[in-house]
Amino acid sequence: MAQGVYPVTRDPRRPSTYMFSFRDRQGRRHFRKGFETKKEAEAARHQLELELRENTYIAPKDIPTFGQVADDWLSSKSNHRPSSQAQWKVHIDHLFYAGLSFNLHATKIDQLDPRAIEKIRDELRQLRNLSPRTVNKILTTAAAIFKRAMRLYQYSNPTPRS
């Protein structure tokens, strides 16, 4: 079955909200629900049509976690010196520190934004008592991981530029 986007309708289970459905490239049907206004639903529908037309749509279940992208990125660096690989591994371990306010390892890359990265930066400085220079090195590694995500998954980079 071909891909396509169906018209916006009221949600039969929640009549005060709007929804629409669509089929992806594989023919699987997906639903987008919970829009408060029809205008909001139409805007989301239009954005999705563009993504489908430009072949940039990624189903939510196919969006990788930051941990998956980080592991993939680190394994792609096998031709670098072992000391560099070890340092990057330490940086990634700092990013996955259990004391942070959320589990970055299990967070999908589309759920990260500049505020989340800035919060991680601040928590690394406070909770881990790391110097600003070390934190900047960790964020540089995170930026490289996001760059790989951008290249492979058409994702935008939330790491703040300093």
- How does pLDDT run across 58-95, given as a tens digit for each residue? 778 888 999 999 999 999 999 999 999 999 999 999 88
At residue 62, the pLDDT reads 82
pLDDT of residue 31 exceeding 50: yes
pTM for this one?
0.70
pLDDT of residue 162 exceeding 60: no
Residues in the chain: 162
CATH number belonging to the domain at 62-153, selected among 2.70.40, 1.10.150, 1.10.3720, 1.25.10? 1.10.150
Any idea where the domains of the chain sit in the sequence? 4-57, 62-153
Q: How far is CA 77 from CA 36, 88, 150, 153, 155, in A?
A: 46, 10, 17, 19, 21
For residues 112-129, give the mean pLDDT: 88
**Contact partners, residue 137, CB within 8 Å, separation at least 6:** 91
DSSP states along the chain: ---EEPPPEE-SSSTTSEEEEEE-TT--EEEEEEESSHHHHHHHHHHHHHHHHTT----GGGSPBHHHHHHHHHHTTTTS-HHHHHHHHHHHHHHT-TTSSS-GGGSBGGG--HHHHHHHHHHHHHHS---HHHHHHHHHHHHHHHHHHHHHH-----PPP-
